[in-house]
Chains A and B, each alone.
Chain A
Amino acid sequence: MTTERPPILEIRGLRKSFGHTEVLCGIDLAVRPQELVFIIGPSGSGKSTLLRCCNRLEEPTGGSICIEQIDVMAASTDINAMRRKIGMVFQSFNLYPHMTALGNVTLALRKVVGQSRAEAERTGMAALERVGLSAKARSYPAELSGGQQQRVAIARALALEPTIMLFDEPTSALDPELVGSVLAVMRELKDGGMTMLVVSHEMRFARDAADRVIFMDHGRIVEQGPPAQLFADAREPRTQAFLAELTR
């Protein structure tokens, strides 16, 4: 891992409040190129909100977020153009039910990027190939298993060639036997050099694939470190308690 290269994602003093409830209380986080950063923490700790602030699905209350040194929050920044570089994968897949897998993957290519249908379908098929679902290109979401749907959702984000991928509990809505196929795809992305920020409770995957694990609680980063270190001997009692609860 090279520390010299500038971070892909740099978050400084990020705050987010819903009404009077402060969900993020000053988050500082930098994700380096090709790094896979895992965020864990109890529900309500602000992990998902943190992720959703990165592409401004949630509007931050304060602080700054830069992707490749471009300020995502600046009024001069074209947020729609920025979002194409920030792939996002949701817990509930959010595939468009009225379109085939290929339609889902190519829609933004055609209507946002402006590719021709033929061009978009070439790109889309390549993306589906990467998640192992080119055979399902003509299937509708309802005809796919949860794991396949999530892989199509990953392909949809991948097709736009993002510089970073955000995963918001990508396997939480899946039956246990389908989790592996999604994690395998994420593993391949990691091996292919994708920069990833992942909110998940897949501890074994974190241990195997993550470069760094961050523990969040009450809107703050409590502790972070390489998975081996954090899982084996966390310093903070809150982290220890959370990990003990998970592995119980």
Chain B
Amino acid sequence: MDAWSRFLDTFFKRELIEQYLPSILKGMLVTVEIALAVVITGIALGLALAVVRAWRLLPVNALIVVFVDAFRALPPLVLVLLVFFGLPNVGINLPSFAVLWVVLSLVLAAFAEEIFWAGILSVPKGQWEAARSTGFGWLATLIYIVLPQAVRLTVPPLTNRTVAITKNTALGTVIGVPEILNQATTGQSFSGNATPLMMGAIAYVVLFIPVVALGRFLETRFAWRRA
């Protein structure tokens, strides 16, 4: 057997592709479900925390900073294992899907909070003053004047972070979430061949290239010339 056919046989074996395609597709669906859930709850929670922080209540802000720093410092895998194997000891049994969703949402929320907060801080004080001087209250100023400007600045870093976190759905494999990597490694151990893993890798590329492209589109769409 020459090298080329050995390569094909190792990574692109036809029978295995046909055999494992259904489970990889199932895995893609699970990955998409978790990723969407994580993005929605993580970004919403991050935005909510940034808004609360903008209220500038010192004790509350201290709590937010502690949460944010802890979740940015910890490897997500540690959190996934800690929650999945720790919580049952205190009588809380969460399905693995829920554990992954909660942990990744909190991690994304921590990063998103910092990004939104930086965005809010970058809006000049004069914008607040102009809005307040025309009768806008604090929250209305934030909603109508500050956040629309802050969010534009947050699109590039938020896209990066979102892609990074959603790729962490692969961590679900260690707690048995049937996502792409889990399906791929299962296929690999049954077949003794790397073809299912290669299929998993391609599945990730297929899923995430559009997300990256969307981020690029949003960056240009939301850009506007500064005064």
Contact = CB atoms under 8 A, between A and B. Distances in A.
Interface centre among B127, B134, B225 (most CB of A within 10 A): B134
Given A90-B129, A96-B127, A140 B224 contact: yes
B134 A156 contact: yes
B144 to A, nearest CB: 6
Contacts of A141: 227
A97 interface: yes
Interface stretch (A104-112, A198-206, A226-234, A237-245): A104-112
A190 interface: no
Nearest to A110: B144
B134 to A, nearest CB: 4
Nearest to B126: A94
Contacts of B157: none
A230 to B, nearest CB: 29
Contacts of B145: 96, 107
Interface in A105-157: 107-108, 111-113, 140-143, 149, 153, 156-157
A157 B134 contact: yes
Given A98-B152, A111-B144, A140-B224, A55 B130 contact: no
B208 interface: no
Interface string B111-154: 00000000000001011011111111100100011001100100
B14 interface: no
B136 A108 contact: yes
Given A90-B129, A97-B149, A160-B135, A142 B227 contact: yes
Given A140-B224, A142-B226, A142-B227, A96 B140 contact: no
Interface stretch (A16-24, A29-37, A81-89): A81-89
B134 A108 contact: yes
Contacts of A160: 134-135
Size bracket, chain B contacts? 20 to 34
Contacts of A81: 135
B152 A111 contact: no
A186 to B, nearest CB: 17
Interface in B174-224: 224
A57 B152 contact: no
A112 B127 contact: no
Nearest to A78: B135
Given A92-B126, A142-B224, A84 B149 contact: no
Given A80-B137, A107-B144, A97 B132 contact: no
Contact of A97 (B131, B144, B224): B224
Nearest to A111: B144
Interface in A149-202: 149, 153, 156-157, 160
A58 to B, nearest CB: 10
Contacts of B225: 140, 142-143
Contacts of B130: 88, 90, 94-96, 153, 156
A73 to B, nearest CB: 16
Interface of A: 55, 57, 80-81, 83-84, 86-88, 90, 92-98, 107-108, 111-113, 140-143, 149, 153, 156-157, 160
25 contacts: A80-B132, A80-B135, A81-B135, A83-B134, A84-B134, A84-B135, A86-B133, A88-B129, A88-B130, A90-B126, A90-B130, A92-B124, A92-B126, A95-B227, A96-B149, A98-B149, A107-B134, A107-B144, A107-B145, A108-B131, A108-B136, A142-B226, A156-B130, A156-B134, A160-B135
Given A92-B124, A97-B149, 6 more contacts: A80-B137, A90-B130, A96-B131, A112-B136, A142-B225, A157-B134
